[in-house]
Amino acid sequence: MNQANLVIEAVPQSSGTHSPEVMEQRPFAIPSSKLVMWLFIISDACTFGAILFAYGYIRNSAADWPLVFESASIWNSLLMTFILVSTSLTVLLAVKAAQSEDRAKAFRWTMITAAGGVLFMLLHIREWLSLIGQGARMFQNPWGAPMFGAAFFSITGLHMAHVLGGVIALTVVGLSYRAGRYADRHIEIWALYWHFVDLVWMFVVPLVYLLNMKR
């Protein structure tokens, strides 16, 4: 009798409905949303890697590649670097606060991170306007190889677009988290994205700015 009961219990029911306790296992034992973000970061890293590799090839193959950045531009780029590195810390503090269920503090640090991104973009736009005012365009400039403008505006423009996307996402997530519609994992996921944007800038500064400094 006991064996028969065990056999009956082991047979799945074919009523056409799924038991609420039966859930599909997460791939790689991490939430699907975090997995998607990691896949996006990996694919985006390949994109930036290809662009920076192409930039290095163009720069080395051009005999008259211009060295245009003066000390003011270098200090401006270092200031932008300091701001992005600082926002990596503030978004980490936002994640820690969210994990501690301190919604007010998590929202505050998230908004500080977004504000740092806005400040970064303003400094970057100022740099763009300075170069444009000196005659730099996508395929021409008064200093030498015409591809300099295309390379500079493409690389920095793509990165700035990522910063803008991160600012919008952090603002939306922060407001939704404060309202109780999002959980701490949402802040953590977008913190991963923000760290990636910061990491990319660590490659842009030496390749685009420091190597093109006037000597």
Task: Give the pLDDT confidence of 115-166 residue by residue, as tens digits.
Answer: 999 999 999 999 999 999 999 998 888 888 889 999 999 999 999 999 999 9
Task: Give the pLDDT confidence of 58-84 residue by residue, as tens digits.
Answer: 999 988 898 999 999 999 999 999 999
Q: Has residue 5 got a pLDDT over 90? A: no
Could you tell me which residue, 163 or 11, shows the higher pLDDT?
Answer: 163
Spatial CB neighbours of 43, under 8 Å, sequence gap ≥ 6: none
Q: Has residue 95 got a pLDDT over 90? A: yes
At 88, which amino acid appears? S
Q: Which of 193, 203, 26, 212 has its CA nearest to residue 94? A: 193
Q: Distance between CA 174 and CA 168 in Å, rounded?
A: 10
Would you tell me how many other CB atoms lie within 10 Å of the CB of residue 90?
19
Spatial CB neighbours of 86, under 8 Å, sequence gap ≥ 6: 116
Phi and psi torsions of 13, nearest 5°: -75, 140
Of 4-18, 40-54, 87-101, 194-208, the poorest mean pLDDT is in 4-18
Percent pLDDT > 70 in the chain is 87
* CA dihedral sign of residues 13, 17, 22, 24: positive
DSSP secondary structure, 102-116, as one string: -HHHHHHHHHHHHHH
Q: What is the pLDDT averaged over residues 187-213? A: 94
> What pLDDT score does 140 carry?
87
Would you tell me how many other CB atoms lie within 10 Å of the CB of residue 96?
17
Where residue 27 falls among pLDDT bands split at 50, 70, 90?
A: low
Write down the pTM of the prediction.
0.83
Q: What is the pLDDT averaged over residues 11-20? A: 45
DSSP secondary structure letter of residue 52: H
Q: Has residue 40 got a pLDDT over 60? A: yes
DSSP secondary structure letter of residue 69: B
> What pLDDT score does 25 carry?
57
